[in-house]
Amino acid sequence: MRCLVVHAHPDPASFSTALREVAVTALERAGHRVDLIDLYGIGFDPCLSEREHVDYFSIGREHPDPVVAAHIELLRATDTIIFVYPTWWSGLPAVLKGWLDRTFLPEVAFALAPRAGGKQVVTPALVNVTRIVGITTYGSSRAEVALLGDGGRRTITRTVRLVCARRCRTDWLALHRLDTASDEVRARFLDRVDAELTMLEPWGRRRA
């Protein structure tokens, strides 16, 4: 498998960074090729520029920003995307949402096909992606997250998944109440992430 790990956290000493390191190590130990995009680490600009907005429906063919163009090529080459991030304000960190805005473009993530009546239908373009994994932390309890909603999870497991392969599988690994979690609880979650990604296979299969 070729895996793309997309990480969003500003603090290199954070628990989120520890999760990223465990994820990369587990995937490499399992023999997978891993590409890492550390959005804060590279100082990624999440803002869609005026030119990108004006040329939105054609810019995916040849993006003028070399960083975004390189990320688009990684998306086209991977079969598994692993998102590692903290849930803030019931959603994705701004830099990760901005990354989706700038990379999941027409002719990259989806295509628009004409339909009767002059309407257009959206068809997936990232059909090479057969597995999506979300790894996140919450400050709230599981019940509070369910009550308030989870915009980040919906974006990744529904919207992002819709532009991937028809049988694309999703996995969600989450730690709730991070702010009050003990070292033991955090360690168990790191072990869980390590175990899950070590066994990761495309199409939802697990190793015998």
pLDDT digits (tens, 9 = 90+) for 44-95: 999 999 999 999 999 998 999 999 999 999 999 999 999 999 999 999 999 9
DSSP run (H or E) holding 82? strand 80-86
Radius of gyration of the chain (CA): 17
DSSP run (H or E) holding 3? strand 2-7
> Domains in the chain, start-ordered, CATH in brackets?
2-46+64-101+128-204 (3.40.50.360)
Helices (H) and strands (E) in the chain, counts: 8, 7
Instruction: Quote the pLDDT of residue 204.
Output: 44
Residue 115 has pLDDT above 80, yes or no: no
d(CA 137, CA 16): 8
pLDDT-derived band at 100 (thresholds 50, 70, 90) equals very high
Specify whether the CB–CB gap between 157 and 170 falls below 8 A: yes
Q: pLDDT tens digit string along 138-150?
A: 999 989 888 888 9
**Residues ≥6 apart with Cβ < 8 Å to 89:** none
